[in-house]
Amino acid sequence: YLDEHNTFRGTIAKFYPDLPPSQYYGRRVLILKWRRSLHKIVAACSAPKEAKKEKARSQGAATVPPLSVELKLVRWVIDLQDGGVPVTPMMLRLQALEEAKDAGIECFAAGRAFSKLDIA
């Protein structure tokens, strides 16, 4: 639609008629991002499995460790706590990175979710 009419105001008015004026700039930025990523969007939509998804993450963006790694982490935390050692979120994150590396997972990041876990 934007390519045909060449106007952001018209495009936003067509697809977001009830958009508050304060959100116009953010929607414009989002449409520009979609426009720059058009080739990726088209490629993702061409695969039936990918076409069903509403969001696409880059490779490794949401890597979850296998159950065996998670169980090792749980055992590690329990062993430390049984010995009276408090486990901090940073300790858990570093141990998770080490366990993932040992398991051959190269794109594991142990991001914010690990630092916010309730490990008490």
pLDDT single digits (tens) 29-63: 998 998 898 888 888 788 787 777 776 666 555 67
User: 67-115: which CATH topology?
Assistant: Arc Repressor Mutant, subunit A (1.10.10)
pLDDT score, position 20: 92
Q: Are 76 and 89 in contact (CB under 8 A)?
A: no
pLDDT score, position 86: 93
Cα distance between residue 16 and residue 27, in whole Å: 9
Q: Which residues fall within 8 angstroms of residue 90, CB to CB, at 6 or more apart?
A: 115
pLDDT band at 98 (very low <50, low <70, confident <90, very high): very high
Q: Does position 3 have pLDDT exceeding 90, yes or no? A: no
pLDDT single digits (tens) 65-97: 888 988 999 999 999 999 999 998 889 989 999
Give the predicted TM-score (pTM) of the model. Answer: 0.48
Torsion of Cα atoms, 45 then 50 then 55 then 56, to 10°: -100
Measured at the CA of 16, the angle between CA 10 and CA 18, to 5 degrees, comes to: 110
Domain with CATH 1.10.10 in the chain: 67-115
pLDDT score, position 119: 57
Give, for 115, the enclosing helix (H) or strand (E).
helix 112-115
**CA contacts within 13 A on the Cβ side of 29:** 4
